[in-house]
Amino acid sequence: MTQNSPDAAPAASTPADPARERAIGGVYTFVAYLLWGFLPLYFVLLAPTGPFELVGWRIFLSLVFCVLLLTVTRGWKPLIAIIRRPRLLLLTGLAGAFIYINWQVFIVAALSGHVIETSLGYFINPIATVILAVVVLHERLRVAQWVAIGIAAAAVVVIVVGYGAFPWIALTLAGSFATYGLIKKRIGPSVDALSGLTLESAWLTPVALVLLVVTGAAGSFTYGQVSPWHTVLLTLAGAVTAIPLLFFAAGTRRVPLSVVGLLQFVAPILQFLSGILILGEPMPAERWIGFSLVWVALIVLTVDSLAAARRSRRAGKDAVPGVSDVAELT
């Protein structure tokens, strides 16, 4: 990437200062999660645009933004190299399918007054990642990780029984994003963030076109129909999608995964506070109990993961704690 991008490399004549690089990486990662935390408020501003038109524009304009950025940063060569590898290309398509599910459910929830439940989904996400590690990768869990999973399961039961509704939004967001993260982990460093987002958006472009055509046929098309300010905000949906991902990629290359694992809670905390304090969504006692149990599970998981990382560093190994095994947020 060029010197104007978040991930620009230091000049060859100037050796990188590890402490400075870690500090910059921490700032980049925090900014990414900060932007993701306020994303529901941005989508609410786009009313009366419906969730399906919004996702259609988000996909299409993300592709446009990525193509422009690839041109400016001269990043076409890595993209073409990925296209020539069928396995990587198919994996980006599979990743695109799961990120579409995540985006669609997230935006439906944000526009229908369920921002608090979206925050629950991203609180649960680290636990869903650990479960996938057991089911798909056949990893063995430590006792504390099993305890965290049990507490999280109890939280879901409390919400279902006490609140009288199954938290399908939260569980779909957690499951789809954890699966997306697993696929991205399988892809590994072979696909950089910009090329990956470009290919995922390209795979989803036919879906976006169908969504926009159906929206237009139903007479609920809003682009350019509401106000100039609304049109500008809707046009920026692609940049709003891509920029946090690029900050995230630039940050996670510079900081330990344990730091990323702790910073990931910034986004759901901000979504939770936005839902309560700004959007005025209800938070009955049953929800408080359910959320409290999830937070206890996350504390157990985080403490155990940090302890495991510390033990691995002492043993001279490269640890990847379960709570830190995350991919990009919505």
Q: Kindly report, residue by residue over 292-310, the tens digit of the pLDDT.
A: 888 888 888 888 877 777 7
The DSSP annotation for 4-22 comes to: TSTTPPPPTTS---HHHHH
**pLDDT average, residue stretch 262-276:** 88
User: Residue 26: what pLDDT?
Assistant: 85
Would residue 122 count as lying in a domain? yes
Q: Is residue 138 part of a domain?
A: yes
Q: How many CB atoms lie within 10 A of CB 68?
A: 13
What pLDDT, on the 0 to 100 scale, is given for residue 325?
A: 42
In terms of phi and psi (left: phi > 0; alpha: psi -120 to 50; beta: otherwise), the region of 205 is: alpha
Q: Is there a domain that residue 194 lies in?
A: yes
Count how many Cα atoms sit within 13 Å of the Cα of residue 25 in the half-sphere of its side chain.
Answer: 20
Asked whether residue 306 is assigned to any structural domain, the reply reads yes
Cβ–Cβ under 8 Å, residues 6 and 250 = yes
Task: Give the chain's largest Cα–Cα span.
Answer: 63
Q: 258 in a domain, yes or no? A: yes
Within a domain: 98: yes
First to last CA, the chain: 23
Q: Is the pLDDT of residue 3 over 80?
A: no
- If one compares 96 and 129, the residue with the highest pLDDT of the two is 96
Per-residue pLDDT reduced to its tens digit, 107-141: 999 999 999 999 988 888 888 888 887 788 777 77
Closest CA to 249 of 39, 77, 28, 23: 28
Give CA–CA dist 82/66, Å, rounded: 15
15 pLDDT higher than 60: no
Quickly state the pLDDT bin for 142 (edges 50, 70, 90). Answer: confident
Range(s) of the domain holding residue 28: 18-324
Residue 147's SS3 state is helix
State the total domains in the chain. 1
In a domain, 82, yes or no: yes
In a domain, residue 9? The reply is: no
Confidence of residue 106 (pLDDT cuts 50, 70, 90): very high
Q: Say whether 61 sits in a helix, a strand or coil.
A: helix
